[in-house]
Amino acid sequence: MNGSKANGSGAAAAAATPNNSNDATNSHPQGHWRNQVKAPPKDTRHRTEDVTATKGNEFEDYYLKRELLMGIFEMGFEKPSPIQEAAIPVALANRDILARAKNGTGKTGAFLIPLLERVDLKQNTASALILVPTRELALQTAQVCKKLARHIRGLEVMVTTGGTSLKDDIMRFYQPVHVLVGTPGRVMDLADKKVCNLQNCKMLVMDEADKLLSPEFTVVVEKLIGRHLPSDRQISLFSATFPVAVRGFRDRWLKKPYEINLMDELTLRGITQFYAFVEESKKVHCLNTLFSKLQINQSIIFCNSVNRVELLAQKITQLGYSCFYIHAKMPQAQRNRVFHDFRSGACRNLVSSDLFTRGIDIQAVNVVINFDFPKSSETYLHRVGRSGRFGHRGLAISLITYEDRFNLYRVEQELGTEIAPIPPNVEKSLYCE
Ligand code: ADP
């Protein structure tokens, strides 16, 4: 399928030379814009087929406006990933989408790029809404959106989530907002209060859609769509996991959705998975051994409860390793600080509850440890997907107690993957580059 241009930017389309980005730089009379692009240094690390098995499209093939192309190249995206190739043309053609692709393979770009191409800058109210399940993911998505759109003059992105001042958000709506990124409860609140007008919001993206359709959120999400969005809206659902529960929503709200499923296998190819069989009382000792033996660039260590997160973080600090912790019961300002500082590399290890299970993209994380084994295979899949971002290599190690043994077996079966016992020495080439 080829890119159907949904709204015009003819000059930009004319300036982009399809299929030949390098020629555009040198031989095309208007092509010098490529020389102005300040791309980051090339990432030369090995990438797996999860992101390299493409049809060979170029971003220029989609006739995107030049300002957007500049943002894309300045992010260091050279070519679309498989999910981007599959979703961008369909989204540009205004179809509803149900897209499933592995963690870390570029879903954010797959929905943001067509959305930014089509956003209506003539309206002062949002023409696109992106819903995500956590505040941290909202911040991250808004940041990526702003980066991609940095050359699109006048485009305003706003992020709105619980845990921040409602008054500040209300004031912000006196200014134009073109793209709104938020968590469902806060967006609903603002829309109900008529502070945020979604009548022109013709694009709705639900990232981590299955989480947004879990009992925690689904009532709010459906009310928001039913009450506040126009009937001629496009709805796109993205996730790595789509349990059966999503079907009901699809049948109620999506119009002939274009379904993309790039998950013929479930786990990422770049991630090697091990387990260590331990008694509960020996877990900290085991973690200490892992810390001393592994070459951790950055790690996320998952626990199953808020209390255990705090206790473990204390113990790791006592062992002499640098460590932050994060969970949903912390004040938002503190959560933001930890998220920001960990992302900027201020600390090697982060102990987390399932708050950080989905969507969080920190390329430096090469090791994920399940201090507590997760209850469902979906949670397992999302947790281990915090390493091995964009086809890179990573390690996932689960500490398994006697009680976890059946769960481990079930996760292996459901994901069709092998989680092997950890060898005495883990080869560095499996997770260090
Ligand atoms: P997902 O939403 O599928 O979990 P993300 O959208 O967070 O994955 O992307 C994972 C990482 O890959 C991010 O750091 C992002 O900047 C990078 N990335 C996305 N698309 C490309 C691309 N086309 N080329 C290079 N890197 C990309």
Side-by-side strand order, sheet with 258-261: 157-160, 179-182, 128-131, 203-207, 234-239, 97-100, 258-261
Q: Is the CB of 207 under 6 A from ligand 1?
A: no
pLDDT at 20 over 60: no
Atom of ligand 1 nearest to the CA of 76: 25
Q: What is the pTM of this model?
A: 0.90
Which of 55, 79, 389, 390 is the pocket-test mutation for ligand 1 (most atoms within 8 Å of CB)? 390
Q: Is the CB of 81 under 6 A from ligand 1?
A: yes
Among 15-29, 204-218, 405-419, the minimum mean pLDDT is found in 15-29
Beta bridge partners of 180: 129, 158
Domain ranges, ordered by start, for the chain: 4-261, 271-430
For residues 102-126, give the mean pLDDT. 96
Please provide residue 238's backbone torsions phi and psi, each rounded to the nearest 5 degrees.
Answer: -125, 140
Q: Is the CB of 363 under 6 A from ligand 1?
A: yes
pLDDT, tens digit, for every residue of 79-94?
999 999 999 999 999 9
Closest C-alpha residue for ligand 1 atom 19:
106
At residue 136, the pLDDT reads 95
DSSP 8-state class, residue 151: T
Asked if the domains at 4-261 and 271-430 fall in one CATH topology, the answer is: yes
Cα atoms in the Cβ-side hemisphere of radius 13 Å centred on 220: 21
At residue 245, the pLDDT reads 74
At residue 29, the pLDDT reads 52
Which of 62, 108, 210 is the pocket-test mutation for ligand 1 (most atoms within 8 Å of CB)? 108
Closest C-alpha residue for ligand 1 atom 18:
106
Q: Ligand 1 centroid vs 127 CA: distance in angstroms? A: 24
At residue 116, the pLDDT reads 98
pLDDT band per the 50, 70, 90 thresholds, residue 265: confident
Q: State how far the Cα of 128 lies from the Cα of 34, in Å rounded to an integer.
A: 28
Q: By three-state DSSP, how is residue 160 classified?
A: strand
At residue 401, the pLDDT reads 98
pLDDT at 18 over 90: no
Closest C-alpha residue for ligand 1 atom 27:
77
pLDDT band per the 50, 70, 90 thresholds, residue 279: very high
At residue 227, the pLDDT reads 97
At residue 174, the pLDDT reads 94
At residue 30, the pLDDT reads 54
Atom of ligand 1 nearest to the CA of 390: 12
Residue 178 CB coordination number (10 Å): 24
> Which residue's entry shows tokens 């814009």?
33
Closest C-alpha residue for ligand 1 atom 20:
106
Q: Is the CB of 106 under 6 A from ligand 1?
A: yes
Average pLDDT of the chain, as a whole number = 91
At residue 19, the pLDDT reads 38
Hey, which bits of 18-146 come out as E strands?
97-100, 128-131
Please provide the DSSP assignment of 295-310 as one string.
--SEEEEE-SSHHHHH
pLDDT at 38 over 90: no
Q: State how far the Cα of 356 lies from the Cα of 360, in Å rounded to an integer.
A: 6
Q: Ligand 1 centroid vs 75 CA: distance in angstroms? A: 10
At residue 17, the pLDDT reads 35
Q: Is the CB of 71 under 6 A from ligand 1?
A: no
How far apart are the two ends of the chain, measured CA to CA in Å?
Answer: 36
Cα atoms in the Cβ-side hemisphere of radius 13 Å centred on 413: 6
pLDDT, tens digit, for every residue of 314-355?
999 999 999 999 999 999 999 999 999 999 999 999 999 999
At residue 31, the pLDDT reads 59
At residue 391, the pLDDT reads 86
At residue 32, the pLDDT reads 78
Cβ-proximal residues to 209 (8 Å cutoff; 6+ apart), any chain: 237, 238, 239, 242, 246
pLDDT, tens digit, for every residue of 118-159?
999 999 999 999 999 999 999 999 999 999 999 999 999 999
* Contact by Cβ (8 Å): 367, 244: no
Closest C-alpha residue for ligand 1 atom 1:
104
pLDDT at 11 over 60: no
Which of 61, 361, 382 is the pocket-test mutation for ligand 1 (most atoms within 8 Å of CB)? 361
Q: Ligand 1 centroid vs 278 CA: distance in angstroms? A: 35
Angle between helices 184-192 and 218-228 (to 10 degrees): 40
Q: By three-state DSSP, how is residue 157 classified?
A: strand
pLDDT, tens digit, for every residue of 396-405?
999 999 999 9
pLDDT at 9 over 50: no
pLDDT at 15 over 80: no
What distances in angstroms separate CA 110 from CA 67, 260, 347, 389, one per listed residue?
17, 12, 30, 15
DSSP 8-state class, residue 365: E
pLDDT at 3 over 70: no
Q: Ligand 1 centroid vs 390 CA: distance in angstroms? A: 6
The CATH class that applies to domain 271-430 reads alpha beta
pLDDT, tens digit, for every residue of 204-258?
999 999 999 999 999 999 999 999 999 999 999 999 988 777 899 999 999 999 9
Q: Ligand 1 centroid vs 253 CA: distance in angstroms? A: 28
Query: CATH homologous superfamily of domain 4-261?
Result: P-loop containing nucleotide triphosphate hydrolases (3.40.50.300)
Q: Is the CB of 107 under 6 A from ligand 1?
A: yes
Cβ-proximal residues to 422 (8 Å cutoff; 6+ apart), any chain: 274, 275, 276, 397
Q: Ligand 1 centroid vs 61 CA: distance in angstroms? A: 19
For residues 185-204, give the mean pLDDT. 97
Atom of ligand 1 nearest to the CA of 78: 24
Q: Ligand 1 centroid vs 292 CA: distance in angstroms? A: 31
- Name the residue with higher pLDDT: 11 or 23: 23
Q: Position 104: which residue type?
A: G
pLDDT, tens digit, for every residue of 48-78?
889 999 999 999 999 999 999 999 999 999 9
